Amino acid sequence: MLAQSSNKAKIARRVVEVLQFFDEAHPHATVMDIVRRYDRPQSSTSELLSSLVELGILYKDGQNRSYRPTPRAAMLGGSTQAPIIRDGRLTVLLDRLQAQSGLTVALFGLVGVEAQVFNCRSAGNRRVGMFCESFNGGQTERLTDSAVGRLLLSTLSRPRREGIVRRLNAEAQGQHIPYADMLTLLDQYERKGMVVGEAGFGIEAEICAALLPAYAVDQPMAIGFVYRPSANIDVEALGGMLKDAINQAVEREDNHSVTPLVAAA
């Protein structure tokens, strides 16, 4: 029974990995692309992709044997999301911030006691931060181990975040920020709603991140610019651009009324 449950968990993880592979730099994928990225067996990967085609999650191009997501993949779960996600404003916001700044832009969320990269738009400029394979959607890190993780942690109630800090400090190996200092830092982040500091997630980079307003989303989320420490970045200007863009996206309202296609009887 345990072996069967473990196998189901592996399949679920591999389905998510396949969907995470696709981004603006990888709109298509072959079986070997998935095999190489995640070090998976070729036969089972091929079988998995075929199953996703049957389910309407992927399209298959028979000529070059590549795959790409269908609209169904993009729409799964969409109807249950907050309006800013459901109507596409958050996606447009990430695209616009990446285009305006030329930097890597990422959306982060809180999952348990970890921060996760929900989505990533990679920079096109290698000098300022083209992290590609080393930084992508799905990666996780303990909340206390990165600036954006601590920013997300600051959104929780004090009793809850105090308990998380105690737990993570007890589990930490090597150096970590002392308990009292961490709580003081979290209070500062809570007041500011944004942070500048180390990006974490295994890359040598810095981040300038701001929270999405709590009334606009049902769980804590933050958007951040990720860039190399050596890049000549005006952090103050970057932070202002980020806050203004978030406010505009959140506050935008449709000014036109919708006419019903079918008149009421």
> In this predicted model, what pLDDT tens digit does every residue of 117-133 receive, in sequence order?
998 888 766 555 556 56
CATH number of 2-75: 1.10.10.10
The residue with greater pLDDT, 62 or 211, is 211
- The whole-angstrom separation of Cα 78 and Cα 48 is 23
- pLDDT tens-digit profile of 41-100? 999 999 999 999 999 999 999 888 999 999 999 888 888 899 999 999 999 999 999 999
Above 90 in pLDDT, residue 142? yes
Residue range 78-251 in CATH 3.30.450.40: yes
Label residues 213-228 b or e (16+ Cβ within 10 Å = b).
eeebbeebbbbbbbbb
Whether the pLDDT of residue 18 is over 60: the answer is yes
pLDDT at residue 118, rounded to an integer: 92
> What dihedral do alpha carbons 90, 92, 97, 102 form, nearest 10°?
130
Range of weakest confidence among 23-27, 71-75, 212-216: 23-27
Helix, strand, coil shares of the chain as percentages rounded to 5?
50, 20, 35
For residue 257, pLDDT beyond 50: no
The distance of Cα 232 from the centroid of its chain, to the nearest Å, equals 25
Question: What's the whole-number average pLDDT of the chain?
Answer: 87
Q: What's the whole-model pTM score? A: 0.84
Q: Is the pLDDT score of 255 beyond 50?
A: no
Q: How confident is the model at residue 151 (pLDDT cuts 50, 70, 90)?
A: very high
Q: Where are the domains of the chain?
A: 2-75, 78-251
Instruction: Give the ranges where 27-174 is alpha helix by DSSP (H).
Output: 31-38, 42-54, 71-75, 83-86, 89-101, 126-129, 147-153, 158-171
Asked if residue 84 lies in contact with residue 216, where contact means CB atoms within 8 angstroms, the answer is yes
Does 5 have pLDDT greater than 80? Answer: no
237-252 pLDDT, tens digit each: 999 999 999 999 998 7
- What mean pLDDT do residues 176-197 have? 94
The C-alpha torsion from 221 through 34 and 59 to 25, rounded to 10°, is 60
200-228: average pLDDT: 93
> Is the model's pLDDT at 173 over the cut of 50?
yes
